[in-house]
């Protein structure tokens, strides 16, 4: 029997389209096929306008538009286009995305991936990420693989360290 492994990375838009640009072009084609023309202005140019802030929701890099639509984003290609409003407040032009600096981003991802989840449901990695359930709770709150701008590495560490250490201890004691 094959050993089942959990998702070991934070998913981004490139997991859905090979690159952020590929992801946006794919969505644009899907909308076109359904009869809704979406014009992405400046997709092959540098983004401009007010940046949106990236966050991690349930192991996935996303960013929120002012119209309340959430879209996948990618730290390797930090551009944003909203298929809820077509970046209307930015003249339809792609916008930049603010991610934490790379060393901090990698540490945030590493800490979140320490948080155990049940990701057995789903046929693909993308489905498993969307269907994952946290296995630990801090008080009554589930210890999810999510991060919000403003949360520091130290904050994440405080949120999870004692719960994860206790869980590892339980696992070790249960095995012996």
Per the CB < 8 A criterion, the answer to whether 75 and 61 are in contact is yes
Q: In this predicted structure, what is the pLDDT of residue 176?
A: 46
% the chain with pLDDT above 70 = 96
Q: In this predicted structure, what is the pLDDT of residue 43?
A: 84
CB atoms within 10 A of CB 104: 12
Domain ranges for the chain:
14-99, 103-175
Q: In this predicted structure, what is the pLDDT of residue 8?
A: 87
pLDDT tens readout for residues 103-147: 999 999 999 999 999 999 999 888 999 999 999 988 888 999 999
pLDDT tens readout for residues 39-74: 787 888 899 999 999 999 999 999 999 999 999 999
Query: Alpha helix locations (H) across the chain?
Result: 14-17, 20-33, 102-114, 125-131, 153-175
CB atoms within 10 A of CB 8: 8
Quick one: which H or E segment has residue 118? Answer: strand 117-118
52-57 and 95-98 as β-strands: parallel, antiparallel, unpaired? Answer: parallel
Q: Terminus-to-terminus CA distance in the chain, angstroms?
A: 23
User: Which pTM does this prediction carry?
Assistant: 0.88
């Amino acid at each position: 029997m094959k050993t089942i492994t959990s998702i070991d990375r934070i998913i981004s838009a490139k997991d859905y389209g090979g690159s952020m640009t590929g992801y946006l072009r794919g969505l644009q084609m899907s909308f076109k096929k359904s009869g809704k023309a979406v014009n992405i202005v400046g997709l092959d140019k540098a983004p401009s306008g007010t940046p949106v802030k990236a966050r991690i929701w349930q192991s996935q890099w996303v960013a929120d538009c002012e119209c309340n639509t959430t879209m996948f984003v990618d730290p390797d290609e930090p551009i944003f286009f909203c298929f809820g409003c077509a970046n209307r407040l930015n003249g339809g032009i792609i916008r930049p995305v603010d991610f934490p600096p790379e060393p901090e981003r990698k540490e945030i991802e590493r800490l979140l991936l320490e948080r155990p989840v049940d990701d057995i449901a789903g046929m693909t990695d993308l489905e498993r990420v969307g269907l994952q359930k946290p296995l630990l709770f801090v008080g009554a709150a589930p210890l999810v693989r999510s991060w919000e701008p403003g949360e520091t590495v130290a904050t994440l560490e405080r949120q999870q360290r004692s719960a994860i250490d206790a869980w590892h201890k339980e696992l070790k004691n249960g095995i012996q």
